[in-house]
Chains A and B, each alone.
Chain A
Amino acid sequence: MFEILEKKILAPGVKLIKVKAPLISQKALAGQFVVIRVYDKGERIPLTIADKDEKEGSITIVFQEVGKTTKLLGKLEKGEYILDVVGPLGKPSDIDKYGVVIGVGGGVGIAALFPILKALKSCGNYVISIIGGRSKEYVIFKDEIENIVDEAYITTDDGTLGRKGLVTDVLKELLEGRKIDRIWAVGPTIMMKVVSDVTRPYNVPTIVSLNPIMVDGTGMCGGCRVTVDGKIKFTCVDGPEFDGHLVDFDELLLRLKTYKEEEMLALKTLEESEANRIESFKD
């Protein structure tokens, strides 16, 4: 049982929780994730570790409420408990001194990008961030990121914050203007695909953090398999970060739709259930 120490609403449907998990907190590195199960009938879902506080023994998770599990998680309050949290899983990001690095983040992916940029910065890189969302209120972690990077750009679809347009618009301009040594892209699959397409002609190594459907997160089910450079990889043990130029994104996008009907049904049963809330876990 893992206590929720803090809870914040960052944007419509986007929440941040701090969870007490001392063992995970000691070990977590940028790029890694946890698998959680909210309650005893719940599904296991992966969520990125957005931050940690070793002294407090906590990790921070930022999630978007898209289906039943994330909605149930969003209903838990400070002082309540998540039944299972396991991690840190996946390979940490390959942090090194590369030179000039761009981090591209979209949606909740911005929170997942944050620890990577932090680590890249402390390693001596010149770090540029491009983060974006649908409109102003969806651009999360703005201050946190601006505090650590050397140059920061923001885009919104409707122009309510930063530039009107897509993160890739800014990315293209930067790639034209100067030498970039490495790029990290974390966000919706489609965004990572487009970023990889944009950077390919420039030959800039582009790292993406994939988010297939997972069960265990430890390499025993193969449900998270993706095709990278024509070979089968398990995202949870070989990734989640891969060379974006080698990933078969179209296959991943199709695999993400596997349970579309079931996910809708699960959501409907949740909305119809009277309590609309699981038994809370209090000690």
Chain B
Amino acid sequence: MKVLKTKTPMPEQPVEERIRNFDEVALGYTEEQALIEASRCLQCKDAPCIKGCPVNIDIPGFIRLIKERRYDEAIKKIKETNNLPATTGRVCPQENQCEALCTLKRVGEPVAIGRLERFVADLELKKGIEIPKIEKKYNKNVAVIGSGPAGLTVAGDLAKKGINVSIFEAFHEPGGVLIYGIPEFRLPKRIVRAEIEYVKNLGVNIYTNVVVGRTITIDELLKEYDAVFIGTGAGAPQFLNIPGENLVGIYSANEFLTRVNLMKAYRFPEYDTPIKIGKRVGVIGGGNVAMDAARTAIRLGAEEVHVLYRRTEEEMPARYEEIIHAKEEGVRFNFLVAPVKFIGDENGKVIGIELQRMMLGEPDSSGRRRPIPVPNSNFFFPLDMVIVAIGTIPNPLISMTTPDLAISKHGTIIIDETTGKTSKERVYAGGDIASGAATVINAMGAGKISARSIIKYLLREN
């Protein structure tokens, strides 16, 4: 049999249209396309792809079921280990995970595992998600703090086991980065809401508007709950700490994306939260967050959007697909430049940035070549809006108010990686709060580990 060397392409919204709306860019496979793609899988015995998936989905297993058109069973197979497949199928960096290890890469492109996962997950969402029967209820109560992928995974797994779970979320809407960070055009909010609805239907209570550390403390929760899981993410934005950073028109990516996604500023004035949008927008950074901010700015009507990155395209941490999409949509890339200071007018509005040229030196601890400044290379780059997307760190609210919780010098909560246990009795943690900013699926993987050890601890079983 001849193997198809390339992935079945996924239909996309045409560029001219999509830059004027916030609808999803990638439209998903039709049944026919999914069947063609599923037929590419070699059903390898050793299935290297599974090792690349942080939650070890039985990938050949679910793909075989697609091939046999047993879609209901395919999604069940995925859901054995992944509660949020419509999300991960869309946003996992598959090229570094499951697909990176696919045998087919030796002859061409890997199987489009993520797209197939999304296909069956979307089918299920259309039909209505089936809620598994919970065999037995236990009189055990767990509090989960934060409703991002880590918290939702812990909650889902514990609830399926028959343990009572309450999630406490600071924002008015659950979902974490999936709701406030990743834009609608990459991950429609109706998908996230449906996946959250599923977790609720498993019996999980979600209390929004509760800031743990302020509204209630970990120690108070421990009085009422048998165990506590902290999944509060790494949501605090970092700034460059250069002159002029508080000028009007300079946003953290978090603020910009929160206004647009969570508060729906792209529909102002129908929604009340405003957003400023410049004619020439600069986005500082080279990761997924920078790509999301740049593509959002394009959609809001900016005339020019410039990504400013210290290294070169090769070192950019953003997903390849996102860089391609951004380029197609007209985002311009400026490599080997670093901001020195922001310049404003007499009203305190940003009018530009002083940049310094960089060149690449020896590789650093991350293995990427380190940028070093080129002397006397500073120049002025006019901009009327800037989005700073250089990373986020954990919010200190919980560590500030829980003195006996061990924290690393990066502000992350220190855990035992194999159990999710923190230094504090009955308190577990996982996701970005423990690892630093990472990925959705890693947060879910960490959630699984904690759920398993909480179950072991509470029910004294394996």
Contact = CB atoms under 8 A, between A and B. Distances in A.
Interface stretch (B84-92, B149-157, B256-264, B286-294): B256-264
Interface in A235-283: 237, 248, 250-251, 254-255, 257-259, 262-263, 265-266, 269
B252 interface: yes
Interface residues of B, number: 40
A69 B263 CA distance: 14
Interface stretch (A38-46, A115-123, A127-135, A166-174): A38-46
Interface stretch (B185-193, B271-279, B417-425, B448-456): B271-279
A86 B209 contact: yes
B239 A222 contact: yes
B397 interface: yes
Contact of A69 (B210, B239, B258, B272): B272
A161 B259 CA distance: 43
Contacts of B272: 41-43, 68-69, 266
A37 B208 CA distance: 13
Given A216-B258, A221-B255, A237-B396, A24 B274 contact: no
Which 8 pairs from chain A and chain B are nearest by CB? A254-B348, A262-B274, A221-B255, A222-B252, A220-B235, A43-B272, A86-B209, A84-B172
Interface stretch (A4-12, A106-114, A223-231): A223-231
A251 B245 CA distance: 11
A84 B270 CA distance: 19
Contacts of B30: none
Interface of A: 23-24, 27, 37, 41-44, 68-69, 83-89, 215-216, 218-223, 225-227, 232, 237, 248, 250-251, 254-255, 257-259, 262-263, 265-266, 269
A220 B263 contact: no
Given A83-B172, A262-B268, A223 B209 contact: no
Contacts of B270: 41
Contacts of A265: 269
Contact of A223 (B216, B245, B255, B271): B255
A226 B255 CA distance: 15
Given A85-B209, A258-B248, A263-B274, 5 more contacts: A43-B263, A87-B211, A227-B246, A254-B248, A269-B269
Contacts of B251: 222-223
5 contacts: A84-B172, A87-B211, A215-B255, A220-B236, A221-B254
Contacts of A220: 235-237, 254, 258, 395
A86 B274 contact: no
Nearest to B248: A258
Contact of B271 (A41, A219, A259): A41
Contacts of B209: 84-86
Nearest to A261: B274
B214 A87 contact: yes
A258 to B, nearest CB: 5
Contacts of B210: 23, 86
Contacts of B269: 262, 265-266, 269
Contact of A222 (B255, B264, B271, B397): B255
B390 to A, nearest CB: 12
Nearest to A68: B272
Contacts of A257: 248, 347
A51 B57 CA distance: 53
B171 interface: yes
A215 B259 contact: yes
B241 interface: yes
Contacts of A86: 170, 172, 209-211, 215
A218 B245 contact: no
Contacts of B397: 218-219, 237
A265 B347 CA distance: 21
Given A219-B395, A219-B396, A84 B208 contact: yes
Contacts of A223: 251-252, 255
Contacts of A251: 246, 348
A259 B349 CA distance: 12
A259 B274 contact: yes
Contacts of B273: 43-44, 215
A69 B271 CA distance: 11
B395 A218 contact: yes
Nearest to B173: A84
Contacts of B237: 220-222
